[in-house]
Chains A and B, each alone.
Chain A
Amino acid sequence: GAVVSQHPSWVICKSGTSVKIECRSLDFQATTMFWYRQFPKQSLMLMATSNEGSKATYEQGVEKDKFLINHASLTLSTLTVTSAHPEDSSFYICSARAIGQPQHFGDGTRLSIL
């Protein structure tokens, strides 16, 4: 149980394009989803917290207009990196949890901007 699916697993695109990443909870209702960014050999840095039906809460220093988060249902959240540039290249990983339950992570998306 508690499976989180993240898609795509790898994206390579040109600078200036927008990229959408999906995070789905497959066998539970995720009242909250989290989006993290992880640089090589570093820890997970929380970008934003997303509650179903509400606006996402962004961590300090994370641009809301750059990283658009939508959590329209209890099983799906999306992260859109708008007008991506090389410095946005990173490993993006989502997690999801039901009320009172631990966070479970997706497999992550490796984003490379050329």
Chain B
Amino acid sequence: GENVEQHPSTLSVQEGDSAVIKCTYSDSASNYFPWYKQELGKRPQLIIDIRSNVGEKKDQRIAVTLNKTAKHFSLHITETQPEDSAVYFCAASKGSNYKLTFGKGTLLTVNP
């Protein structure tokens, strides 16, 4: 089955800096890669996703890049703000109609 590795497990940055979270996946058939943000005690919320037919997707301060050959994808957050502090999960699946395999999560702390 699919295995998703996520690094780092914790990340602390100063407000205004950029944050990068990286994930690798094992199943070359995976073609859908969402990122979720989970604040303490709350539901995971989809913040961005990418499909394997594109290499990069951007939405304001958030971007995701995908390298299919290397089987890794990354989340980039620019101009970080304290409200970006949360746990971020990457995930992979063989399409949005299939089950997701999640990474272990990254606790991002943005210090004011």
Binding site for A on B (CB under 8 A): 34, 36, 42-46, 49, 89, 96-97, 99-105, 107
Contact = CB atoms under 8 A, between A and B. Distances in A.
B104 A105 contact: no
B43 A43 contact: no
A22 B93 CA distance: 25
Contacts of B101: 46
Contacts, number: 45
Contact of A32 (B46, B89, B97, B107): B97
A103 B100 contact: yes
B103 A43 contact: yes
B89 A106 contact: no
B96 A101 contact: yes
Contact of B104 (A34, A43, A97, A106): A43
Given A97-B97, A108-B42, 15 more contacts: A43-B104, A43-B105, A44-B44, A44-B89, A46-B99, A46-B100, A49-B99, A102-B34, A102-B96, A103-B96, A103-B100, A104-B46, A105-B36, A105-B45, A106-B43
A107 B41 CA distance: 8
6 contacts: A34-B99, A43-B103, A43-B104, A44-B89, A103-B100, A106-B43
